[in-house]
């Protein structure tokens, strides 16, 4: 009897708590008109991005346990706390520093599509390797959420992750989830909402190199870029690409196109169309 009472009280508490208020979420499917925020889903291949996507939008994108299942961008929408979100499921990538076309779609979208929030979905059982991509994403954008997916598998393998420590280190919300079982989705949506609305201000980790000359070069160059293009949020990233000799970024800087994000955006739409039509 007592136990039952306790349970009832607990249940009441849960429903009263805004975090668990499931009624707030409205899955909008492909109806994404008049959205307030754009959310990108990035991550290594086969970490469950499409499963997260289906959970949030109510769509039934085909999911499969093999890397490279998502071949084009998928888009969908959801509504939470009376804000409308457009969700973009990007192809999985190991890195944003290479030149292959599928990775380019993801990189260009995060860089120039200017999503309001980028959710990086990672495989909790392979966190260290997945963090490489997270760190690269954090160089591009300062509004991100880390989704520690596949926590069920991590538990099965006795892997423990201290998500508070991780939040502190990375400076972004870290949400453990089991997307296949729809566990943690409410927390994820809440985190997305908080970052999008500015309630949570990210202080993204910026990586430091052991090599002094590398640090000096990046520092010096990004300083110059910031002066020339005060509007762009990711000067460090542009500096990295210039040092790497990325031809498209060199051109964008040379012609001054980089300062005109909208212009870059349209040319990127064309690139994306090309990629999708191949």
Partner 1 sequence: MNKTNGHNNEAILSLANNLRWEIGESFHDKLMESIFANATTIAQKSVTTPIEKPTFSFDRALDRIVTSPVLGFPMMFLILAVIFWLTIEGANVPSAMLASLLIDTFHPILKDFSLTIGLPWWLGGVLIDGAYLAGAWVISVMLPPMAIFFPLFTLLEDFGYLPRVAFNMDNLYRRAGAHGKQALTMAMGFGCNAAGVVAARVIDSPRERIIAIITNNFSLCNGRWPTQILIATIFIGGAVPAHLAGLVSAGAVVGIAVLGIVFSLVVSWALSRTVLKGEASAFSLELPPYRPPRVLRTLYTSLIDRTLIVLWRAVIFAIPAGIVIWLVSNITVGGESIAEIFINWVDPVSLIIGLNGVIILAYIIAIPANEIVIPTILMLTVLVTSMAGVGSGDGVMFELDSVTATEDILMAGGWTLLTGINLMLFSLLHNPCSTTIYTIYRETKSVKWTVVSTLLPVVMGIAVCFFLTQIWRLVVGN
By CB under 8 A, the residues from 117 to 146 that bind partner 1 are 125, 127-129, 131-132, 134-136
Rounded to the nearest angstrom, the gap between the alpha carbon of residue 173 and the centroid of all alpha carbons in its chain is: 11
Q: Does 99 bind partner 1 (CB under 8 A)?
A: no
C-alpha span between 72 and 126 (Å, rounded) = 25
Among 22, 224, 247, 265, binds partner 1 (CB under 8 A): 224
Among 32, 119, 175, 240, binds partner 1 (CB under 8 A): 240
Cβ closer to partner 1: 29 or 64? 64
- To the nearest whole angstrom, how small is the minimum distance from the Cβ of residue 250 to partner 1? 6
Rounded to the nearest angstrom, the gap between the alpha carbon of residue 129 and the centroid of all alpha carbons in its chain is: 16
Q: Does 214 bind partner 1 (CB under 8 A)?
A: yes
- To the nearest whole angstrom, how small is the minimum distance from the Cβ of residue 237 to partner 1? 12
Considering only residues 185-204, where is the footprint of partner 1 by CB under 8 A?
none
Among 29, 198, 233, 256, binds partner 1 (CB under 8 A): 256
Among 106, 170, 195, 196, binds partner 1 (CB under 8 A): 170
- To the nearest whole angstrom, how small is the minimum distance from the Cβ of residue 130 to partner 1? 8
Helices 212-228 and 235-244 meet at what angle, rounded to 10?
120
Q: Does 213 bind partner 1 (CB under 8 A)?
A: yes
C-alpha span between 49 and 52 (Å, rounded) = 5
- Which range of residues in 6-14, 17-25, 111-119, 254-262 is near partner 1 by CB under 8 A? 254-262
Among 15, 165, 247, 266, binds partner 1 (CB under 8 A): 165
Considering only residues 10-49, where is the footprint of partner 1 by CB under 8 A?
45-46
Among 7, 11, 22, 169, binds partner 1 (CB under 8 A): 169
- In angstroms, the Cα distances linking 161 to 52, 137, 149, 154, 189 are 20, 21, 11, 9, 20
CB atoms within 10 A of CB 56: 26
C-alpha span between 22 and 36 (Å, rounded) = 20
Sorted by sequence, the CB contacts under 8 Å of residue 95 that are 6+ apart come out as: 103, 132, 133, 136
Q: What mask of x and - would describe binding to partner 1 in positions 71 to 90, judged by CB under 8 A?
A: xx------------------
Sign of CA dihedral 131, 44, 136, 187: negative
DSSP helix/strand/coil, 132: helix
Q: Does 247 bind partner 1 (CB under 8 A)?
A: no
Whether the Cβ atoms of residue 77 and residue 86 lie closer than 8 Å to each other:
yes
Q: Does 207 bind partner 1 (CB under 8 A)?
A: yes
């Amino acid at each position: 009897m007592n136990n039952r009472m306790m349970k009832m009280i607990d249940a009441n508490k849960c429903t009263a708590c805004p975090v668990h208020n499931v009624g707030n979420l409205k899955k909008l499917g492909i109806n994404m008109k008049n959205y307030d925020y754009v959310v990108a889903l990035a991550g290594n291949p086969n970490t469950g991005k499409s499963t997260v996507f289906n959970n949030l939008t109510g769509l039934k994108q085909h999911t499969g346990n093999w890397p490279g299942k998502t071949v084009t961008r998928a888009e969908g929408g959801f509504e939470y706390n009376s804000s409308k979100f457009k969700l973009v499921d990007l192809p999985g990538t190991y890195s944003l520093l290479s030149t292959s076309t599928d990775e380019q779609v993801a990189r260009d979208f995060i860089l120039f599509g200017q999503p309001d929030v980028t959710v990086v979905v990672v495989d909790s059982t392979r966190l260290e390797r997945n963090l490489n991509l997270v760190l690269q994403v954090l160089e591009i954008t300062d509004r991100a959420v880390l989704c520690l997916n596949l926590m069920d598998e991590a538990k099965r393998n006795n892997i423990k992750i201290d998500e508070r420590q991780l939040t502190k280190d990375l400076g972004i919300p870290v949400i453990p989830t089991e997307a296949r079982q729809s566990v943690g989705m409410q927390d994820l949506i809440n985190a997305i909402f908080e970052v999008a609305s500015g309630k949570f201000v990210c202080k993204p980790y910026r990586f430091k190199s052991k090599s002094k000359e590398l640090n000096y070069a990046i520092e010096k160059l990004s300083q110059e870029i910031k002066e020339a293009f005060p509007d762009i949020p990711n000067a460090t990233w542009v500096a990295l690409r210039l040092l790497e000799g990325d031809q498209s970024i060199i051109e964008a800087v040379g012609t001054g196109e980089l300062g005109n994000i909208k212009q870059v955006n349209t040319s990127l739409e064309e690139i994306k169309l090309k990629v999708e039509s191949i």
